[in-house]
Chains A and B, each alone.
Chain A
Amino acid sequence: MFEALSDRLTDIFSGLRARGALTERDVDQAMREIRMSLLEADVNFKVVKQFVARVKERSIGAEVMQSLTPGQQVVKIVHEELLEVLGEPARLALSQTPPSVILLAGLQGSGKTTTAAKLAVALRKQGQHPLLVALDVYRPAAIDQLISLGKQLNVPVYSEGTKGEPEKIAANAVQYARKNAFSVVIMDTAGRLHIDEQMMSELQRIERRVEPNEVLLVADAMTGQDAVHAAEEFHRTVNLTGLILTKMDGDARGGAALSIRAVTGVPVKYMGTGEKTDALEQFHPDRLAQRILGMGDVLSLIEKAQETINEDEARRLEKKMRTASFDLEDFLQQFRQVRKMGPLTQILEMIPGMRSTMKQMGGMPNLDDREVKRVEAIITSMTMQERRNPGLIDGSRRRRIARGSGTTVQEVNQLLNQFKEAQKMMKQLTSGKLRLPKGMMGV
């Protein structure tokens, strides 16, 4: 649905053969696409306007570099400007005299409680001694949620139940932390709407009472145009020092981060990337910029591969590929490893340019789970001998394999043919006739 900006610009400039400087007309058309792309990524429309104006200014008359197409040249400018706005990754500023206090705030459902737990884990890894504090006295069972997360992670949780004023609980928690030698106090507050004056003034009271070292806004990566209003209001009330962007493991492009950064100047400090409590990452401006542009995310892909694919195994398979002794058993193993990374279509979409390549080929291949299971069923219905030497598989063996896997002989044939093709390709690869992008083979 949302085309990558690079694909769009390639389309625009495809008629443009001449190299040289970009003319105003070329640029105007490109700017329209950039505007659309950023709006689809939920960048606030005012921020988009300013951003596009700056990119335009830089683009007109820009020399197109020898190695780039005009489209790539514009994308490069956009990318650089995005990085400029997103700023350098910022670290938490913890106090020299512990305990440091970190206050988390945000709208309902942005992910504060989960983020509090993740932050505790991340800080503990850095040698800190964290205390979690439950200040959400409103949402049913919010305190139970934090307590139970604390138990799971073995991080102490300070709570006074749902009675009492959050600012008092917060102050008591700091006292408690000081007495018990905790080095960092992470406060989970209730979700609140930025236009709810009562709740916003409560937040301010907490802030004034405990004077936190960090006030972090927890914002959902999926937030739309309203993100800036909320961020502005929080910033006005409690002077934010940073932003944590959550739910980045989905497919939201995260334009809200750009908007918030542009409007408030508050730096992004972390990104939440999963349901597990260690899924909190340092902010990488470069990756977010690529993502906002819909340019695919090779780094994330490589990381995902590193996480799921056993390195020794990958090396062994790579060697087998090189020596062209890759058989169906190896194929099955690799297949299973790749599957662990998630649905294949999703993996393919992370590869830059893959979307447009697939479009030329008539849409994404139908790599649904049933297909994947079928391939697995067919191979596991073969004997080990057959897997090692697929040449053995004659008509009667094919019929047996089809019966065993609940498929048809045609389907078995299809797989065997595909495998033969793949083997051929590998031979070409190893003989240097074909080249894969760097980093895609082996890990």
Chain B
Amino acid sequence: MRNIFSRRQEAPVKTEEQEALDQAVQKTREGVFNRISGLFRQPIITEETWDELEDLLIQADVGPATAMRLVEGARKQVEREELKTPVEAETAVRRQMVEVLGEDHHKPLESMPSGTIVLIVGVNGSGKTTSIAKLGDYLSRRNRSVMLAAADTFRAAAIDQLRVWAERIKAPVIAHQQDADPGAVVFDAVKAAQARGVDFVLVDTAGRLHTKFNLMEELQKIKRVAHKAGPESPMVSLLVLDATTGQNAILQAKAFLQTVQVDGIILAKLDGTAKGGVAFSVYNELKVPIWYVGTGEKAHDFAPFDHLEFVNALFE
């Protein structure tokens, strides 16, 4: 195995060792969680079963600490209730996962009163603009009217991107020029929504790394301005999290939680081989619920998060 760690300057040619690792990686591609089920189809449960379960959870980005907690919990339950069969043990694992993930993630945005302001925040490239379009489409299909506010005035062509989406989902969009004050965009959008009696203003904010102090301050300002424009309007902040993100998601969620009191998470890009396991850790550490998941490139690839379904899907 040593060779795979050797220094190489040229465009790499695969060695035998690399091929071996390839094969191993290929296996995980077939689905981490499918293999969890496989684990419990063996006749008996051994020490290795638990070790492998921990590895599988870590592979799904659950994170080492949460993975350990899940395994320990399930293990204790098996001992306490003197469960013998693998099937019973699998049930115990599922129960642990459901417990860590918490219940009742989905707060139905669609039943919130007219005039609700929804602030969509997240780091660069997490999928905010696409998620807004999907959320807008999702609400429209439930006969709630939406308006999009193009408050990402920083990234080149972000406004155009939102406009294209607005056209596709047939929603009005309020936009200023590139580099305009995002607060002013939000103010106008909230006022326009009030005038037209629109149910939801979905605010697309610029991507910002949670470590950028000034940009996080700007987000607070946007929120203050929105509140000023609509003091009576309910305000919801949703964090868009890329499902391929690793343990940094916890730090992201924490920072956005502190800045704008994130109400829920949209878990985007859950369409690759990434399992979004970090959602377990985020919930475990911060208790921020997941509201929606994004699962593809089309407007309707979007669904409310169901924690039971999520856990069950992991075992299928």
Q: State the interface size on chain B (CB cutoff 8 A).
A: 68
A423 interface residue per 8 A CB criterion: no
Q: How far is the CB of A164 from chain B (nearest CB, A)?
A: 18
The interface stretch among B113-121, B189-197, B247-255, B304-312 is B247-255
Q: Are A46 and B24 in contact (CB under 8 A)?
A: yes
Alpha-carbon distance between A149 and B156 when the two chains are bound, in angstroms:
6
Known: A111-B125, A193-B272. A251 touches B247 (CB 8 A): no
Q: Are A42 and B248 in contact (CB under 8 A)?
A: yes
Q: Are A250 and B127 in contact (CB under 8 A)?
A: no
Q: Are A145 and B157 in contact (CB under 8 A)?
A: yes
Q: Are B7 and A250 in contact (CB under 8 A)?
A: no
Alpha-carbon distance between A142 and B125 when the two chains are bound, in angstroms:
13
Q: State the interface size on chain A (CB cutoff 8 A).
A: 74
Q: Are A36 and B64 in contact (CB under 8 A)?
A: yes
Of all chain B residues, the one with the shortest Cβ separation from A113 is: B156
Q: Are A109 and B127 in contact (CB under 8 A)?
A: yes
Q: How far is the CB of A42 from chain B (nearest CB, A)?
A: 3
A180 interface residue per 8 A CB criterion: no
Q: How far is the CB of B311 from chain A (nearest CB, A)?
A: 19
Q: Are B160 and A140 in contact (CB under 8 A)?
A: yes
Chain B positions within 8 Å of A84 at CB level? 5, 7
B181 interface residue per 8 A CB criterion: no
Q: Are A265 and B8 in contact (CB under 8 A)?
A: yes
Tally of A-B Cβ pairs under 8 angstroms: 196
Q: How far is the CB of B212 from chain A (nearest CB, A)?
A: 8
Q: Are B272 and A195 in contact (CB under 8 A)?
A: yes
Q: How far is the CB of A221 from chain B (nearest CB, A)?
A: 8
B156, B217, B277, B278: which contacts A145 (Cβ < 8 A)? Answer: B156
Q: Are A263 and B272 in contact (CB under 8 A)?
A: no
B183 interface residue per 8 A CB criterion: no
Q: Are B209 and A249 in contact (CB under 8 A)?
A: yes
Q: Are B4 and A40 in contact (CB under 8 A)?
A: no
Q: How far is the CB of B125 from chain A (nearest CB, A)?
A: 3
Of all chain B residues, the one with the shortest Cβ separation from A249 is: B209
Alpha-carbon distance between A202 and B124 when the two chains are bound, in angstroms:
26
Of all chain B residues, the one with the shortest Cβ separation from A241 is: B11
Q: Are A111 and B244 in contact (CB under 8 A)?
A: no
Q: Can you sample 10 A-B contacts with CB below 8 Å?
A: A54-B5, A87-B9, A107-B244, A109-B124, A111-B125, A145-B155, A249-B211, A251-B210, A251-B248, A264-B18
Question: What are the 6 tightest A-B residue pairs by CB atom distance, in nearest-first order?
Answer: A224-B246, A109-B125, A42-B246, A140-B164, A265-B12, A145-B157
Chain B residues proximal to chain A, CB less than 8 Å: 1-2, 4-5, 7-9, 11-12, 14, 18, 21-22, 24-25, 28-29, 55, 58-61, 63-65, 123-127, 154-158, 160-161, 163-165, 178, 209-213, 217, 242, 244-252, 254, 269, 271-275, 277-278, 285, 297
Extra 7 A-B pairs, beta carbons < 8 Å, given A40-B65, A247-B209: A1-B285, A145-B156, A149-B156, A195-B272, A220-B242, A225-B61, A247-B124
